[in-house]
Chain A
Amino acid sequence: MSRAALLALLLAATPALADDGHGHAETGEDHVHDDHAHEEDHDDHAEGGSVSHVTEAHGLRAVHAWTRATTGDAALVFLAVENPSEDRVVLTGASSDLADDAEIVGFSLGDGTGSYAPLAEMPLPPGGSLRFAPQELAIRLTGLRAELGEGGYIEVTLATDRGPIPMDVEVGAADATGHSHAGHAH
C-alpha cells in the first residue's frame, strides 16, 4: 500500500508537459452519451447566422465539435462522430478555410512528452461511434490564418468516403476541457 501511495505521490509531483503543445488542462470528457437529455434548441446564434452543435450528413452525425482559443497557428478539434447507418464509413481527413492543413491525428505518450501523429484514415463500423478527445484523437489544424477567439465558431469539414461533413466548431477557452454543452444528449 505504501508503494501505491509513493507512486501516487510521484505521479502527483510529475509535471504537465505531456499535452498537445498548447499547455492546456485536458480531461477528455464524453460529451455524447450522457443521459441528461433536454428539450431546448441547441442551435446558437452567432454573428452572421446560426450555428449547430450537431451536423447530420451522409447518414453520419458529428456532435459537439469544439476547439480552444489560441493565438498560435495550430489547434486541435474534438468531437464525437456517430454512424447510425448499417454500412461502414471511413473518415479520411479534414479541411478548413481558416487553416493551411487539417488532418486526423492520434495521441501517443511516447517518452512522456506526448505527441500527435497523423492517421491516414479512421474506419467507423455500422452503428459505431468515435470520440475525438484530448490526449486521444483529434483533428489538427495547422497554418491557422487567424487567432481563434473564445466564444466564436469556425467551420471545419470532416472528409469521409461518403462525402464531406461541414461542422460548426465552438471555440472554448484556452484551457477548455470540453464542449460548452458537454453532457447534453442530442
Chain B
Amino acid sequence: MRDIWLSLPSGAQDALILALFLVPALAIGVALLRGVAPFPLVSAILWRFRWANTMFVALIAISVGMGIGLVAQERGLRAGTAQAADKFDLVVTAPGSELTMLFATVFLQPQDVPLLGGAAFERVASHENVEIAAPLAFGDSYRSAPVVGTIESFARHLSDNRIEGRMWRSSGEAIAGALSELEIGAVFTPAHGHGSALEEGAHAGTEIEVVGRMAPTGTPWDRSILVPVETVWETHGLANGHAPSDAGRIGPPFDPDHFPGTPAIVVRADELWANYALRSEFTRDGETMAFFPGTVLSNLYIVMGDVRQAMSIMALVTQGLVAASVLLGLFILSRLFRRQIALLRALGASSRFVLAVMWSYGTALLATGATLGLGVGYAATAILSRIVTERTDIVVSASLGWSEFHLVAGFLSVTTILSLLPVLAQRRQSVVGGLRA
C-alpha cells in the first residue's frame, strides 16, 4: 500500500488527501439528504435571515482567509528568498558570519566585511572543478542602486544569458539590472558608499556608460548596476587585477600580485558533487570560509520556525473561535426556529427532513464562508507580496497551493460534523413543546 502511495505523483497524492478531507462532510451529506429535498426551505431560511447569514459568512471568510493568507505568504517568502539564492551555489569569503555574507552577496545589503587577497582568489579560480569564480566588488552606488563589480561570466549566469543590448567590452561600461532606472546609452557617475555614508563627488570624473540590460531575475540584483570588477578597482585608485603589460584586459585570469582584493567570490562548480568537495576544500581556518547560501537560508528557516508555528496556532485558534461562534449561532437559530420546526414535524415532515434542513443551512454558511475565505486569503497574500517585493526587490509570488485547499477542506469537514450537534439537540425537543413555544 505504501509503495503504491509513494509511486503516485505528488499532485495525485495531494488530490487524494483533499478528497480524504472532504469525505466526512460528503458522507454526512449523502446520508442526510438521500431521498429528501430540503433546498427550497433552506433557500427560504437563507433569504429570511440574509443579514445575519451575511455576517456569519463574512466572519468565516475572514478567519479562513487569515489562515490561508499566512500559509500562502509563508510559502511565497520562502520561495522568493530561495529563488534569490538560486544562482549562488557556493560563496567563498574571509572567515566571519555566513549570515552577514549572505546578506551582502545574495541580497546586496551593504556590509563592512574583510577582503580576500589575490592568492586566495587564485586558489579558488584555478581549481579544476571550478567553472565560474566571480569576484564581487561592492561599495559604490548610483541613486541608492548598488554598483557591483564582477566578471562577464557571472553576469551571464545571473541573467541566464538574457541581456538586451550587449555585454561590456571595456572598463567604463555597465549592464543595468532589469529594474534599474538607467536606460541603455545612459552615462552616470557612481557615488562612493551607500545611504547615510554616501559620498557624492568622490568619484567625480568617472563616467560609466550603460551598454546592456539584464532580464528580470526576481532578486535584489534587478535594481543593481553591474560593471567590470576592474572598473570598481580603478575608480578607487587601486590596481585593476592585471599586470601593467596586460592593463587593458577585462575579466579573468587575474594576476594575484595586482589583485586588490574582493569581499566575496561566487563559485559555480562543473559538477553537483564538486560543490560539496569545494566547500570543504575552501574552508580553511583563518584563511577562507565557504558556505552554501541555500544551507544558510534553510538553517535560518529552521531556527526561526517557532515564529511561524506560533502564528499558525494563532490562526487556527481564530478559526476555531469563529467556527465555535457560528455553531453557537446555529444553536440559537435552531431555538428560534423551534416553533416552525415543531410545526413542520406536526404536519408530517420526517425527523430526517428536519435534520437535513438544519444541517444544510449550517453547511451552506460554512461552505460559502470557506470558499470566500480562499479568495480573501489570496487577496491578502497578493497585497502583502506586492508590498514585500517593492521594499526588498525579492519577487514574492502570491499563489494558492494544495496545503491551503487541504486547510479549507479540513476546516469544512470538522465544522460540518460539529454542526450536527445543534441539529441533534433540536431533534430531542418534543413537538408539542415546540408548538407551545
Quick check: B273 and A112 within 8 Å, CB to CB? Answer: no
Shortest CB distance B272–A (Å): 6
State whether A3 and B304 are in contact (beta carbons under 8 Å apart), knowing that A14-B74, A109-B294 are contacts in the complex: no
In the complex, A129→B282 CA distance in Å?
11
B280 at the interface (CB under 8 A from A): yes
Interface centre among B77, B82, B196 (most CB of A within 10 A): B82
A33 at the interface (CB under 8 A from B): yes
Q: Find the A residue at minimum CB distance from B312.
A: A15
The range of chain A's interface size is 35 or more
- Dominant SS among interface residues on chain A: loop
8 Å CB contact of B300 from A11, A117, A128, A131: A11
B258 at the interface (CB under 8 A from A): no
Shortest CB distance B64–A (Å): 19
In the complex, A135→B85 CA distance in Å?
15
Quick check: A1 and B304 within 8 Å, CB to CB? Answer: no
B17 at the interface (CB under 8 A from A): no
In the complex, A179→B174 CA distance in Å?
49
Mask of A32-50 contacts with B, CB within 8 angstroms, 1/0: 0100000000000000000
State whether A109 and B298 are in contact (beta carbons under 8 Å apart), knowing that A12-B307, A128-B281 are contacts in the complex: yes
Quick check: B299 and A28 within 8 Å, CB to CB? Answer: yes
B27 at the interface (CB under 8 A from A): no
Quick check: A12 and B304 within 8 Å, CB to CB? Answer: yes
8 Å CB contact of A16 from B85, B196, B301: B301
Quick check: B272 and A123 within 8 Å, CB to CB? Answer: no
Interface residues of A in 3-17 (CB under 8 A from B): 3-4, 6-8, 10-17
State whether A111 and B79 are in contact (beta carbons under 8 Å apart), knowing that A7-B109, A28-B295 are contacts in the complex: yes
Quick check: B276 and A13 within 8 Å, CB to CB? Answer: no
A to B CB contacts below 8 Å, 11 in the list = A4-B110, A13-B77, A15-B305, A15-B307, A18-B301, A26-B299, A106-B273, A109-B86, A113-B78, A121-B273, A122-B273
- Given pairs A15-B78, A18-B298, 10 additional interface contacts (CB within 8 A): A3-B109, A7-B394, A10-B81, A11-B77, A14-B301, A16-B304, A109-B82, A122-B273, A128-B280, A131-B280
Q: Give residues in B with beta carbon < 8 Å to A.
A: 74-75, 77-83, 85-86, 103, 107, 109-110, 195-196, 272-273, 275-277, 279-281, 285, 292, 294-295, 297-309, 311-312, 388, 391-392, 394
